[in-house]
Amino acid sequence: MRIKRSLFLACAAAAALWAPAVAVVHLCAWMGAGGALSLELEGGCHETHGTPKTRHTPLGSGTSTFYTARWGVTNLQLLPEHVVSVGVAHVTGSSAVLALVKKEERAKVLENGVLVANSNGVLATEAGDTYSCQNPPTGDCTKTEFESVKGNWGVVLGVVGAPPGSPGAQEENSGEDDPQDLAQEESLKGPTVGLGLAITARL
């Protein structure tokens, strides 16, 4: 399945709408406790806390702040590696604004990919894809994306991985997913969904 929105665009869209509430957000700690260490991560985890911003709509004003974290090296030419990026946010405002934003965000989450959760107030989806990179012998890297909404909270999490090629694997020039591509995507699905749901549960 092709990811319909890149992680960058997804985070940018979420940043415009969502913001954390009074609760303390410790994404690096949550990622470590949520299973991120099961991935081949190099380097440390780095968090950024955004500044609250006011969003004006015809239905009233809302406040949004966006928290992000990134774990892993930024240069995927040193393979195999994985990089995990996550954005968590929460929106505050009038009931009318909240209802509008929740409706829009739920639609975006459903558009992202395959439904992986729809219970206890959590709606979540996951999508995976492969793309060309410097990962001999296949020349393929894998990316998976998790999105969720829970109450006034939203989560966007992405995992980029360059798993080692299997013995005898050949470099693929086709743009279509072959069995090895699908296997790579499937290998990241479990860790991505598990980590995304673990973070969502903290909110």
The encoded tokens of residue 41 equal 């991560």
Cα–Cα distance for residue pair 185/86, rounded to 1 Å: 18
Would you state the pLDDT for residue 11?
46
Q: Using an 8 Å Cβ cutoff, are 39 and 200 in contact?
A: no
Q: What is the 3-state secondary structure (H, E, C) of the chain?
A: CCCCCCHHHHHHHHHCCCCCCCCCCCHHHHHHHCCHHHCCECCCEEEEECCCEEEEECCEEEEEEEEEEEECCCCCCCCCCEEEEEEEEEEEECHHHHHHHHHHHHHHHHHHCEEEEEECCEEEEEEEEEEECCCCCCCEEEEEEEEEEECCEEEEEEEEECCCCCCCCCCCCCCCCCHHHHHHHHHHHHHHHHHHHHHHHCC
In a domain, 68, yes or no: yes
CB atoms near residue 58 (< 10 Å): 7
In a domain, 177, yes or no: yes
Beta bridge partners of 148: 124, 155
Half-sphere exposure at residue 169, Cβ-oriented, CA atoms within 13 angstroms: 20
The values of phi and psi at residue 131, to 5°, are: -150, 165
Range of the domain at 60: 7-201
pLDDT one-digit tens code per residue, 73-108: 666 555 556 789 999 988 999 999 999 889 989 999
Q: Using an 8 Å Cβ cutoff, are 144 and 189 in contact?
A: yes
In a domain, 110, yes or no: yes
Cα–Cα distance for residue pair 142/184, rounded to 1 Å: 6
In a domain, 93, yes or no: yes
Enumerate residue ranges in the chain where pLDDT < 50: 1-2, 4-22, 167-168, 174
In a domain, 2, yes or no: no
In a domain, 1, yes or no: no
Q: Flag whether the pTM goes above 0.85.
A: no
In a domain, 20, yes or no: yes
Q: How many domains does the chain have?
A: 1
pLDDT one-digit tens code per residue, 50-73: 768 887 878 888 988 899 999 886
Whole-number mean pLDDT of the chain?
A: 78
